[in-house]
Structure formats: structure tokens, C-alpha cells
């Protein structure tokens, strides 16, 4: 069971979040509060798995509350404004939902939460570092800059020791993250791990021959442990 806490001063928003979470038996709402100052116990991974919190409150800041947490759970920001995306980027927020939140968008967030938590907390920490995602893009921290990267631009991601290299048609970005953590945060069904060192964008694959995936001029090996699932997913075998 994934334990969720909701902190939102808007009663309608709280009810909507609670109702949507109740549709999935995997999630349980363990507490709902109007303001961060009302929470009667420490918020951390031992008490909460996911915190849904409004960005700003009257007289209080949801982002400051998140910043104050030690060993924080996964955090999803809910807000009526897009102005806080960069600040969320600095706080390693899992997701940024702009109200009113469409049901399909919320479902993608829940799927992302399940994938990340099933990967373990190490993947969570590595995957969230420097990444805030929205529907079609994410922000990454590379070359001492915050870079907006559209998922559709990604050809494949390569693991290089303690880093990953994100390959696009026009550039390469070196990011201090693990491949498993970064892959867990990508849109479900659009990317796939094909090797312990490679995750590919399924939408840009040109062909598969034997144990090799071809993307333009790039020929990527399919790991022995991944071969069956890759051929089933891509070739329908």
C-alpha cells in the first residue's frame, strides 16, 4: 500500500485528489490537511510515501515546507500557476500538476509513482536529482545549466559509470544520475531498457536485427536478459 498525504487549502482540490486516489487500491490517503502547519507529526519516508502539496498557502509556503523536510517522501506539487517549475526543479520534486488536473494526467503521475517506488529508494534519489517533468518534457541539470528537454527529442540514454549520457539528434547531455532511476521517470510505454547500459525511445527505432537495435547511425546491443522482452515489445513476437 502506498501511503499518501494531501495538504491543500482548497477543499474541492482535496476531495478530488482523495477521490482519484481511492479508485486505485494501491494507494491509501493517510491524512488530509488545509495547511502544512496543521500536520501533527514529522513527514518523512517512514510516515508517508507520497506527499501531494499545494505550492503556496495564505501565510505559508508549501515549497518552504518541502525544503524543511529531512528524508522527504516523493513530492507532487499541485498549483494553479506554472511560475514555480524552476523552484521545484531545485527541490527534486517528482511531478508538477497544474490545476485543474485532468484525470489522464493524474493517472500518469500515479503510474510514475508506482514505477519509482517499485525500483527502490536508491533509484528514487538518483532519478529525481535535477529533474522536474511535465506532459511532454522534463528539465535536466547539465553543463551547469537547467535545460528543457522534450521526451520526443531523446534517441537513447546511455549509462556511463556514475552518470548517464542522454543522446538526441542534435546534442548529448551528461547528467549525474543512474540509468535505472532516470528510466523510471520517463513516460511509461514510450521508453524501454534494452541493456544494462541503454534505454531507448521506442518511437525512434528504425529496425531490430538479431540482438541489435538500430536508431539512425546508432547500433545498440540488446542485453541477453532483455532480448525476449524487447523482441516481444517491439516485434510482437
How large is the average pLDDT for residues 57-77? 91
- Whether residue 7 is predicted with pLDDT greater than 90 in this model: the reply is yes
User: CA distances (Å), 41 to each of 29, 38, 45, 176, 204, in order?
Assistant: 15, 9, 12, 33, 48
Report which of 174, 140, 138, 139 is spatially closest to residue 158, judged by C-alpha positions: 174
User: CA distances (Å), 56 to each of 26, 80, 127, 161, in order?
Assistant: 28, 10, 25, 39
CATH class of 2-128: alpha beta
Check residue 130 and give its pLDDT: 47
In the chain, which segments carry CATH 3.40.50.2300? 2-128
Residue 183 banded pLDDT, cuts 50, 70, 90:
confident
Check residue 143 and give its pLDDT: 76
Tallying the residues shown for the chain, one arrives at 237
- Whether residue 6 is predicted with pLDDT greater than 90 in this model: the reply is yes
More confident call, 123 vs 168: 168
Asked if 192 contacts 230 with a C-beta cutoff of 8 angstroms, the reply is yes
Check residue 29 and give its pLDDT: 95
In the chain, which segments carry CATH 2.40.50.1020? 152-235
- What string of DSSP letters covers 104-115? HHHHHHHHHHHH
CATH superfamily assigned to domain 152-235:
LytTr DNA-binding domain (2.40.50.1020)
Amino acid at each position: 500500500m502506498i501511503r499518501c498525504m494531501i495538504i491543500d487549502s482548497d477543499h474541492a482540490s482535496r476531495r478530488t485528489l482523495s477521490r482519484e486516489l481511492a479508485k486505485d487500491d494501491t494507494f491509501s490517503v493517510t491524512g488530509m490537511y488545509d495547511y502544512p502547519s496543521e500536520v501533527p507529526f514529522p513527514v518523512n519516508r517512514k510516515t508517508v510515501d507520497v506527499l501531494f502539496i499545494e505550492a503556496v498557502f495564505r501565510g505559508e509556503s508549501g515549497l518552504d515546507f518541502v525544503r524543511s523536510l529531512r528524508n522527504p517522501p516523493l513530492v507532487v506539487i499541485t498549483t494553479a500557476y506554472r511560475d514555480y517549475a524552476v523552484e521545484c526543479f531545485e527541490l527534486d520534486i517528482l511531478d508538477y500538476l497544474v490545476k485543474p488536473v485532468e484525470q489522464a494526467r493524474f493517472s500518469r503521475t500515479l503510474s510514475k509513482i508506482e514505477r519509482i517506488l517499485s525500483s527502490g529508494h536508491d533509484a528514487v534519489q538518483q532519478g529525481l536529482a535535477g529533474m522536474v517533468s511535465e506532459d511532454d518534457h522534463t528539465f535536466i541539470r547539465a553543463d551547469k545549466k537547467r535545460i528543457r528537454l522534450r521526451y520526443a527529442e531523446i534517441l537513447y540514454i546511455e549509462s556511463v559509470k556514475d552518470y548517464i549520457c542522454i543522446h538526441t539528434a542534435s546534442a548529448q547531455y551528461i547528467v549525474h544520475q543512474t540509468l535505472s532511476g532516470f528510466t523510471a521517470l520517463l513516460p511509461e510505454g514510450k521508453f524501454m531498457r534494452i541493456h544494462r547500459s541503454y534505454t531507448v525511445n521506442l518511437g525512434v527505432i528504425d529496425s531490430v536485427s538479431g540482438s541489435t537495435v538500430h536508431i539512425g547511425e546508432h547500433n545498440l546491443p540488446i542485453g541477453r536478459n532483455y532480448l525476449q522482452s524487447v523482441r516481444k515489445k517491439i516485434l510482437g513476437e
